[in-house]
C-alpha cells in the first residue's frame, strides 16, 4: 500500500474513532448528570455566558436576581439533557450575540479579530524598516555617546573605575 492510499484509509478511520469517542463521552456525560445538575455544572456553563443586562459580568458571578433566574434556566436545560452549545445557542437566540464572551466570527465582527494583528504587523514592518536603514548606514567604527557612562560594558566601567582612582591619587 502506498502512502497516499494509507492516508486515504487512515484519515476516515481516525475520524470515525474520534466520532465514536465523542459520542460515547457525550452519551455518558448526559447519563452522568443527576436529575438536578449541581451548582458547579451550572456555573461551568454560566461562566462562558454574559449577563444580558449588566455590563461585562459573566453569568456565574452576577449577583442580580435576573441572573439568578437565568442560572435556574440553565439548570433546567441541563436537567432536560441539553448540551452546553445548545444552551449557548438558546441564549443567543433569546438575547443576541452580547451574551457570548467574545463576538462570534462572522460579518463585521471579523474586524475585532483582524484589525489589531494587522496594526501590529504594520508596527513590525515599521520597526523592520528602522532596523534595516540602520544596517545600511552601519559605520565602520562605533563611538560611544559622549558624556554617558555605561555600566553594562565591563571595559567601560573598568576604565571609569581606573580614571576615578587616578583622580583620587591626583588629589
Partner 1 sequence: MVSNFGFGALVITLVVSVYGIFAAVYGARKNSLAWVESARKAMLLTFPLISLVALSIIYLLVTGDYQVQYVYNVTSSTMPLYLKVTALWGGQAGSLIFWSWLLASFASAVTLRKWDRDREFLPWVIVVSLVTLVFFVGMSIFFENPFVRFWQTAGGSQAVAMFQPTGATSLVPFDGRGLNPLLRHPGMVIHPPMLYLGFVAFVIPFAFAIAALITGRTDDRWIRVTRRWSLVAWLFLSLGLVLGSRWAYDVLGWGGYWAWDPVEIAAFMPWLSGTAFLHSVMIQEKRGLFKRWNMILIVLTYSLVIFGTFLTRSGVLSSVHAFSQSAIGPLFFGYIGITFAVSLALLLHRWNALRSEGEMHSLLSREALFLLNNLLFMGILVVCFWGVLFPLISELFTGQKVTVGPPFYERSTGPLFAGLLLLMGVAPLSAWGHSTVKTLGKAMWKPFVVSLAIPVIAFVLGVRSLPALLAFWLCAFVAFITLYEYYRGVAARIRRSEENVFTALWNLASRNRRRYGGYIIHIGVVLMALGIIGIELFQTETQGTIPPGGQMNLGNYTITFDKLDIFDTADGRNVARAVVSVERDGKYLGQLYPRRDYYYDSQQPMTIPGVRSTMEDDLYVLLVDWEPISSTGVTFKVYHNPLVNWLWVGGFVFIFGTLVAAWPDKDPESVRVRAAKRKMAASGVQSAD
The binding site for partner 1 (CB under 8 A) comprises: 38-40, 43, 50, 55-58, 61, 63, 68, 96-103, 107-109, 111-112, 115-116, 119-120, 123-124, 127, 130-131, 133-134, 137-139, 142, 144-145, 148, 150-153, 157, 161
CB of 9 to partner 1, least distance (A): 32
Given the C-alpha cell 448526559, which residue does it identify?
30
Helix ranges, the chain (H): 3-32, 39-46, 65-79, 84-95, 110-136, 154-170
CB of 23 to partner 1, least distance (A): 28
Q: What is the DSSP letter of 145?
A: P
C-beta closer to partner 1: residue 15 or 111: 111
CB of 28 to partner 1, least distance (A): 22
C-beta closer to partner 1: residue 23 or 158: 158
Given the C-alpha cell 474520534, which residue does it identify?
18
Cα dihedral 27, 32, 38, 39 in deg (nearest 10): -40
C-beta closer to partner 1: residue 31 or 107: 107
The three grid cell numbers given for residue 99, joined into one nine-digit string: 451574551
CB of 83 to partner 1, least distance (A): 20
C-beta closer to partner 1: residue 2 or 107: 107
Residue 6 — φ and ψ, nearest 5°?
-55, -45
CB of 81 to partner 1, least distance (A): 22
The three grid cell numbers given for residue 42, joined into one nine-digit string: 451550572
Dist CA 104 CA 119 (whole Å): 21
Max CA-CA distance within the chain? 92
C-beta closer to partner 1: residue 23 or 69: 69
Amino acid at each position: 500500500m502506498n502512502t497516499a492510499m494509507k492516508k486515504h484509509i487512515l484519515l476516515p478511520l481516525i475520524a470515525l474513532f474520534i466520532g465514536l469517542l465523542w459520542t460515547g463521552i457525550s452519551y455518558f456525560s448526559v447519563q452522568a448528570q443527576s436529575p438536578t445538575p449541581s451548582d458547579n455544572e451550572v456555573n461551568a456553563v454560566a461562566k462562558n455566558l454574559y449577563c444580558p443586562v449588566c455590563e461585562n459580568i459573566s453569568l456565574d458571578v452576577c449577583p442580580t436576581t435576573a441572573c439568578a433566574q437565568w442560572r435556574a434556566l440553565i439548570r433546567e436545560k441541563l436537567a432536560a439533557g441539553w448540551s452546553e452549545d445548545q444552551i449557548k445557542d438558546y441564549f443567543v437566540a433569546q438575547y443576541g450575540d452580547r451574551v457570548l464572551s467574545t463576538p462570534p466570527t462572522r460579518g463585521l465582527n471579523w474586524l475585532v479579530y483582524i484589525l489589531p494583528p494587522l496594526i501590529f504587523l504594520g508596527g513590525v514592518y515599521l520597526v523592520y524598516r528602522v532596523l534595516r536603514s540602520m544596517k545600511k548606514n552601519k559605520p565602520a567604527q562605533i563611538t560611544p555617546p559622549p558624556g554617558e557612562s555605561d555600566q553594562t560594558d565591563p571595559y567601560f566601567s573598568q576604565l571609569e573605575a581606573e580614571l576615578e582612582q587616578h583622580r583620587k591619587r591626583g588629589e
